[in-house]
Structure 1
Amino acid sequence: METANGTPARDTLVRRISRTMLAIALLSSALAAGATGILADRMLLASEDRRLRNAAVDLVHEIAGLGETEAGREADAEQAELERLGIRITLFAGNKRLGGAPDIPARAGCGWSTTPGEEWLRRCGEEAPGLLVVAEERFEGLPQHRGWLTMAALVAAAGAVLMGLAMSRRMARWAARPLTELSESLALIQPGTPLPSPLGTPARYAEVNAVRTSLVELLGRLQEALDQSRRFSANAAHELRTPLATLRAELELLAEEGHPPGTAAALARLHRTVTALGTLVERLLVLAEGARGTLDLTETVSLPEIAEDVLLSLPEGDRGRIRIEVEGKGFIQGDAHLLRQLVDNAVDNALKFSGTGHVRVSIQETAEATLLEVRDEGPGIAREDSARVFEPFYRSPTARAGHPGHGIGLSLVALVARTHRARAEFLPAVRGAHLRVSFPHPPAPPDRASTGVKAENKPAGEQ
């Protein structure tokens, strides 16, 4: 994607949304994995504590109402039974041990042993009236369990990230689709044509609709300003055409009368000036009419014939400097008057900058387009000016240095080319300037056989 000045865009909204979604997926996955690991560890520890406390409570219930001697024997029996399950238990009466495992210290509640070498030993004490039962178990497999929990959380997080990678761009494109559709509608706008129907229909989403409304209002103001400018140019050109034609005729009549040499030279200069003004007015009319974009370009026009007409209209001295080369028929669909202006201005520009050099006009057919090329032997066009010379009234430093003009000729060439869906450009040249106008071929009509229409049966010999 490119920006308005032709430079590549550094980012796109789709990439921005997809990166945001991916970052959210990464963060949420990390938080979920951490929370899951902590919760699973706490649940595992609570389950083991419940197991130890249940063993202690069971012993309390079994010795209820027994004396210390009988209670000690029950504790020893319970110790022997639970040891097969990995649990050791001890019964205390105050600070006196009555029975069970001999090396378990008295403590209430659950907690880890603080004795060196017993890092994974868990003890839970359950109190009863005058008695204390302490159960312990060594959780040597707990680090492994925690490792598996961590691994499971990481795998889940990785899966979420991969899913985010796979879905984020697709979801971002879906989210940005209303803006993409708006952009596609804007791309359909042509000069002088009504706005595309999607731009006139309220958008589904409020934010996109606000942008659409602002754009429609802006386009309306711009269209109004352009219409006013075109009307002014056209009206001014029309108003100037008649008095200039009258003035030119009067000067021609005066020139036919006998005058002193000084007066005759002055009349000739005035005639050249009025002729140049008339040419400028005609070009302004073409610019005003051609920019409307409402021309019916259905006439079959021969570019070679137009080039020959332009050649015949030139002064005798300029005709010998021009060589026309034709390869193919050179027929295109368009407006003959506008195309005559295009060729006339392209040749005039080449003659003006060639000095006494030659100009070569070539017309050739390719598989994709009909090419009109004009090459001269002038100073050429700098690369940085090759695009700007098509702007109205722009004149490069080389053009301003000793070459009269208004800066309209090449802009008219570009405008007529765009009107005919063609492209005007200057190509790199070893010497002089090389102008090319590419007229793309119209799409071929559909084949009757492919559309399912059968040819009509005709008598033999009938065409």
Structure 2
Amino acid sequence: MALEPADTGRPRDSMVRRLSRTMVAVALTSSALTAGATGLLAYRMLLAGEDRRLRDAAVDLVEEVHGLDDARARLEADAEQRELMAFGIRIALFSSEGQLGGDPDIPTQSGCAWSQLPGEAGVRRCGETAHGRLSVAQENIESIPRLRVSLPLAAVVAATCAALISLLMSRRVASWAARPLTELSASLARIEPGSPLPAPLTAQARYSEVNAVRTALVALLTRLQEALEQSRRFAANAAHELRTPLATLQAELELQAEMLQPPDTTLALERMHRTVKSLGVLVERLLVLADDTQGSLELVESVSLAQVVEEVLRALPPSELRRVEFEAGPLGLVSGDSHLLRQLVDNVVENALKFSDGGRVRVSLEETPEQTRLDIRDEGPGISEADSRRVFEPFYRSPTARAGKPGHGIGLSLVALVARAHRASVAFLPSERGAHLRLTFPGVQPRHQ
């Protein structure tokens, strides 16, 4: 079953943004709940304190008049009223027959409650009964009801302030929280094909969740490396085993071709010779693919791409050479291996000639201090955008290539492999006619004496 290509578009979200939004939501909720709970608790505590104050005043009065007759109790209640007025408290004393003394405007009441009389919003009364008499103390505490009304506003203000602070700090905090995953991603990005795993990836992670992901990735990468190494060894061994018999068979066919043979035999020998030669080229390419040049090639040799192109063109048959236009110009110096670069140029030129349908192939070089570009344009049917990314995979052949074009699906994968070994990029560019392949090599850095 073929695997679908990964979606390389822009991610719809990120962990940092998700953590930021979560922190803002938590801050809003927690600040609103905290402000509401704190305000409600403050309201209850203030109200309980005022009630205790009023009850104490009421209890003190009924205790003071215990054992006194109504006349003397009235005098004590009036005196207590005058004394408590300085503290904002009004008080009255009642018997079973009616009010004995104190503030005449205070009604009877048992327990503590808010006044329900018109014009007395914020008046709190507490009544205490003892020794057959009732004492009622009251106080105007409008600030406490206003506190109850201001609780929602306080919650909104607190939530707004928390949201602003969270917006300022959440991304930084979220980035810090996601740093272990960011570091793991950076370690994965530094992995080169065929090279050992970087030390940060093999070291034990600090956090258990990240370490679980790291362990799974290391196990997966290890299995992949083992599978790739096994594939390389198999391909290299198979190619080496094929090289000697193919060389022997080619030599035998060449010897037979030099002898006088009937015309039919001569034609058959030529066909066999071409087939064996093609198999030899296939084996050589398999050897290059199997060779672990990625990451181990020392780019110490300065090679002229112009000379490499000229060598490749000189080896072409005259009929194909006439179809190639090479714009001679800069030397196109790059650091690399001349043998591998010769195979690279040979493959791209051969591929362009094969698919140009008898049309012309244009090869050009452009050199700057930063990079050297090698462009190959043909006049063939071109290549689709989807195939332009897959043709560099080993053994992949596009529908156009499979339609009557000989090949093994190795040439462009070899080009991509050699390009990566030279730290170069290779890609098909959009073209109005035919295909346009561009190889971009880093410029040769001057050596300091």
TM category (shorter chain) comes to over 0.9
Match of 2:147 in 1: 145
- Structure-2 separation of matches of 1:50 and 1:444: 91
Deviation at 1:240, TM superposition (A): 0.8
The residue number in structure 2 matching 1:402 is: 404
> 1:102 is matched with which residue?
104
Find the partner of 1:284 among 279, 283, 286.
286
* Aligned twin of 1:224: 226
* SS class of match (2:438): strand
Q: Could you tell me how far apart the structure 2 residues matched to 1:147 and 1:445 are?
A: 79
* CA deviation string 1:206-229 (max 9, x = no partner): 232232222222222211111110
Q: Give the drift of 1:85.
A: 4.9
Matched, 1:305 2:307: yes
Q: Please, which moves more after superposition, 335-344 or 5-14?
A: 5-14
> Which of the numbers 158, 161, 167 marks the counterpart of 2:160?
158
Contact 1:375 1:433 (C-alpha < 8 Å) held by counterparts? yes
Q: In structure 2, what is the Cα distance between the partners aligned to 1:374 and 1:57?
A: 106
Name 2:392's counterpart in structure 1. 390
Asked whether 1:205 is paired with 2:207, we answer yes
Distance 1:183 1:4, change over 3 A: farther
Of 256, 267, 270 in structure 2, the residue corresponding to residue 254 of structure 1 is 256
Task: Please say if 1:89 is aligned against 2:91.
Answer: yes
Aligned length: 445
Q: Which amino acid aligns with 1:365?
A: E
- SS of the equivalent of 1:328 reads coil
Which of residues 7, 24, 27 is equivalent to 1:25? 27
Cross-structure match for 1:353: 355
Shift in alpha-carbon separation, 1:161–1:445, aligned structure 2, 3 A: farther
Q: Give the deviation of 1:443 after TM superposition.
A: 5.8
Q: Relative to structure 2, which stretch is displaced further, 131-140 or 236-245?
A: 131-140
Moved more, 332-341 or 210-219: 210-219
How far 1:332 sits from its partner (Å)? 0.6
Summarize the Cα distance change of 1:4–1:175 in structure 2 as closer, same or farther, 3 Å threshold. farther
Instruction: Please report how far the alpha carbon of residue 234 of structure 1 lies from its aligned counterpart in structure 2 after TM superposition.
Output: 0.7
1:387 alignment partner, SS class: helix
The answer to whether the aligner puts 1:12 opposite 2:14 as a matched pair is yes
Q: CA deviation at 1:356?
A: 1.4
Displacement after TM superposition at 1:117 (Å) = 5.4
Judge conservation of contact 1:40–1:149 (CA < 8 Å) in 2.
no
Q: Which residue of 2 aligns with 1:125?
A: 127
TM-score (norm 2): 0.92
| Matched residue, 1:456 | none
Instruction: Please give the TM-score of this superposition, normalised by the length of structure 1.
Output: 0.90
Residues 141-200 of structure 1: CA distance to partner in whole angstroms, max 9, x if unpaired? 444333445444433333222222222222222222222222212222112222212223
Q: How does 1:345-384 map onto structure 2 within 5 Å?
A: 345-384=347-386
Deviation at 1:239, TM superposition (A): 1.0
> Could you tell me whether the CA contact under 8 Å between 2:391 and 2:413 is conserved in 1?
yes
- Structural mapping, 1:238-277, within 5 Å: 238-277=240-279
Q: Which moved more, 1:94-103 or 1:384-393?
A: 94-103
> 2 CA distance for matches of 1:134 and 1:74?
14
Q: How far did 1:86 drift? A: 4.3
Structure 1 range deviating more: 148-157 or 231-240: 148-157
Taking the aligned partners of 2:83 and 2:382, their CA distance within structure 1 comes to 106
Distance 2:329 2:90 in 1: 106
1:454 matched residue in structure 2: none
Per-residue CA deviations over 1:391-439 (Å, capped at 9, x if unaligned) read 1111111111121111111111111111111110010111110000111
For residues 429 and 304 of structure 2, what CA distance do their matches in structure 1 show? 24
Q: Deviations over 1:244-295 (max 9, x none)?
A: 1111122122222223332222222111111111111111111111555322
CA distance in 2, matches of 1:59, 1:180: 74
The CA distance in 2 between the partners of 1:326 and 1:34, in whole Å, is 81
The unaligned stretches of length 5 or more in structure 2 are: none
- In the alignment, structure 1 segments of 5+ residues that lack a partner are 449-463
Aligned to 2:438: 436
* Percent identity for Structure 1 against Structure 2: 64
> 2:294·2:417 contact (CA, 8 Å) conserved in 1?
no
Distance 2:442 2:8 in 1: 23
Between the two structures, name the one with larger relative contact order (CA 8 Å, sep ≥ 6).
Answer: 2
Letter in 1 for 2:441: F
Is residue 2:73 matched to residue 1:56? Answer: no
* Pairing 1:175–2:189 present: no
Q: What is the deviation of 1:52?
A: 2.0
How far apart are 1:81 and its partner, in Å? 4.7
CA apart distance, 1:57: 3.3
> Cα gap change, 1:95/1:257 in structure 2, threshold over 3 Å: closer, same or farther?
farther
SS in 1 for 2:104: coil
Q: SS in structure 1 opposite 2:395? A: coil
The 3 A distance-change label for structure 1 pair 377 and 103 is: same
Say if 1:290 and 1:415, in contact at 8 Å, map to a contact too: no
Distance 2:204 2:447 in 1: 36
Cα distance in 2 for partners of 1:104, 1:443 equals 101
Tell me which residue corresponds to 1:294. 296
Distance 1:433 1:415 in 2: 20
Q: 2: distance between equivalents of 1:444 and 1:412? A: 29
Task: Tell me how far apart the structure 1 counterparts of residues 151 and 32 of structure 2 sit (CA, whole Å).
Answer: 14
After superposing the two structures, state which structure 1 stretch, 36-45 or 65-74, moved more. Answer: 65-74
Given candidates 426, 429, 436, the residue that maps to 2:428 is: 426
